[in-house]
Structure 1
Amino acid sequence: MNIQQSTPTTPLRARMISDMPGRNLGPASQSSHLRACKRFAAWLGRSPETATPDDVKYFQQYLIESGVSICTRNQTMTGVKFLLRVTLRRHDLVAEIFHLKEPVKVPLVLSKKEIKRILAMAPSLKARVMLSLAYGCGMRAGEVVRLKVGDIDSDQGIIRIVQSKGRKDRIVMLPVDILSLLRDWWKERPTGQDKDVPAPERVLFPGYRGKHLSARQISRLFKETAREAGITKPVTLHTLRHSFATHLLERGVDIRVIQALLGHSKLTTTARYASVATGMIAAVDSPLDDLNGAKRKKGKPKPS
């Protein structure tokens, strides 16, 4: 695997690269760890092999004072920790590393009307299919762009998502509308660059030289489409995944089923969507109504 080829490979970097696959780290985690250690070495001004406990302590202080987010700060120290613990086996330095607790934020969710506007404004059939998959199946950006023809099982009405985040496979539903869009896209899909590749192995959304698009490309496409649809909220493509989970919860789908569809390891991760399920929240009777003797109309309010 070639990771960050533009960076000269020092003996220490080569050792770290060889250590990571054995710990079952995926390409994204490996790249993140290497970026973190490159930053640590640049701040240190010398090889991390010569680092002291004070160096580790002051580097963490530097990250905090530089204004990076808590998420970025923790991610950086996770990479540095791998270098110190696994590659250098400097447990005395590892003891100096601490992680900050990230603030709990409520996921941003779009209404069904807003999502309908976004899909209607998709600039092409290809864009509409990709965005429909992101919302209709709760898929991440990287999962959409890496889809292959063989992952679509129209007989069983499912989509197989292979080796996604955490190196896990999972299965999601294949909505009828998306199957129809996929069939229309298959007729338009360019085939010149991968005509020699077996059909099941062909990527659904080819980019340069027949390879799949990047997650950055589909994310940029979504932001442009959302802007055209008049969405002023600070949305990202992941907002469609949040909306997918929230809208299922509002429809009464069991939270454990939603957990499986999203591929979450912990139920607590999925449970946070209850805090933004506006239809469920609006249907709860306030104790104030009991005090005042007010009678609310029963029945679920219409989700927006």
Structure 2
Amino acid sequence: MGRSQSTFNNYSRHVAAISLYFGKIPTELDSEQVQDYLFYQQKKSKTPSQTYFKHCVYGLRFLLKSEGLPYEFLRLPSIKHDKKLPVVLSKEEVWAMLQCAKLLKHKILIGLLYGCGLRCMEVRSVRLQDLDFDRKQLKVVQGKGKKDRYVPLSEHLVRGLKKYIEAEKPQDYLFNGQPLPNGAGGDFDNRYSQRGVQWAVKQVAKAAGVKKEVHTHTLRHSYATHLLEDGMDIMTLKDLLGHQNIETTMEYLHIAQLESQRIFSPLDTLFAQCSQSLK
């Protein structure tokens, strides 16, 4: 189904919550009980996007699909998806982040997220055996959709990676992290935690003076947008990003400032034309 383990865990938590609330599994409830529960969760949710309510519905959909039942079985409501364009950094902002990263580990982390367009889970899962410095390639193993792919490594990133590996001497995963107490938010291995990656990106962005809301995926969005602006075709970009559907990749066409479709403000032509007429 193309969903991550964390997504399945999230769905399971919501199904468990409604089961505990009623003392029976949701498929044994009538649709009115489910409607009342969802209405209660919608009113209780304080976030603008009503995240908890949405995840309740997604969890119930997941349960019904697992049981081979239609969504109409519990009369589940439809969820409207917000059409939000992703935040994209300018090249100057990415450069500032690379310059302001004090730790070599963070500099390499930013370099991989932006220079290879990696997702958070993918950058955490990079192993030494996935790096091919001779061919200047990184093998992204079992990314989203359970498909491997190769992405090119910049010569600048290769030099930085060699320096980092020599200094840190990682044995398996490229990025090692400290395990969190009682496994809170961490993993059962010694990989850099998701929380650690997110914290590092936000701290570096803050140090660089970037005012935009920056997350790990912001660097991936910037990677895709900048490649389109630099002339890469959409099909090649789709493969580099590991997208299953071309429609997902085409969303970046709405953001990229392509030379063939250059968009400008009328103020530019106003100033240019009127200043000439006054001379």
TM-score computed with the length of structure 1 as normaliser: 0.76
Matching of residues 18-167 of structure 1 within 5 Å? 26-44=4-22, 46-48=24-26, 50-67=28-45, 68=47, 69=49, 73-87=53-67, 91=70, 94-167=73-146
Give a deviation string over 1:171-224, Cα, whole Å, max 9, x none: 111111111111001111145xx5xxxxxxx10111237711112211111101
Are the counterparts in 2 of residues 142 and 214 from structure 1 also a CA contact under 8 Å? no
The C-alpha deviation readout for 1:37-73, integer Å capped at 9, x for no partner, is 1332344355435422112222332333233526654
- Aligned partners of 1:85 and 1:94 also within 8 Å: no
Deviations 1:123-165 (A, max 9, x none): 2111110110000111011111110011112232211111111
Change (3 A) 1:63 1:168: farther
Residue of structure 1 in register with 2:217 after alignment: 238
Is residue 114–residue 223 contact of structure 2 (8 Å, CA) maintained in 1? yes
- Contact 1:74 / 1:99 at 8 angstroms: preserved in 2? no
Supply the distance in 2 between the matched residues of 1:286 and 1:132 (Cα, whole angstroms).
Answer: 33
List alignment gaps of at least 5 residues for structure 2.
180-188, 274-279
**Residue number in structure 2 paired with 1:205:** 175
DSSP-derived class of the 1:278 partner: coil
Instruction: Give yes or no for contact 2:138–2:151 (8 Å, CA) kept in 1.
Output: yes
Shift of 1:235: 1.6
Residue identity in the other structure for 1:77: V
Deviation at 1:258, TM superposition (A): 0.9
Distance 1:39 1:133 in 2: 38
| Structure 1 gap segments, 5+ residues each | 1-22, 195-201, 295-304
Aligned amino acid, residue 249 of structure 2: T
TM-score (norm 2): 0.82
How has the CA–CA distance of structure 1 residues 86 and 283 changed in structure 2, closer, same or farther, with 3 Å as cutoff? Answer: closer
Give the conservation status (yes or no) of the 8 Å contact 1:132–1:178.
yes
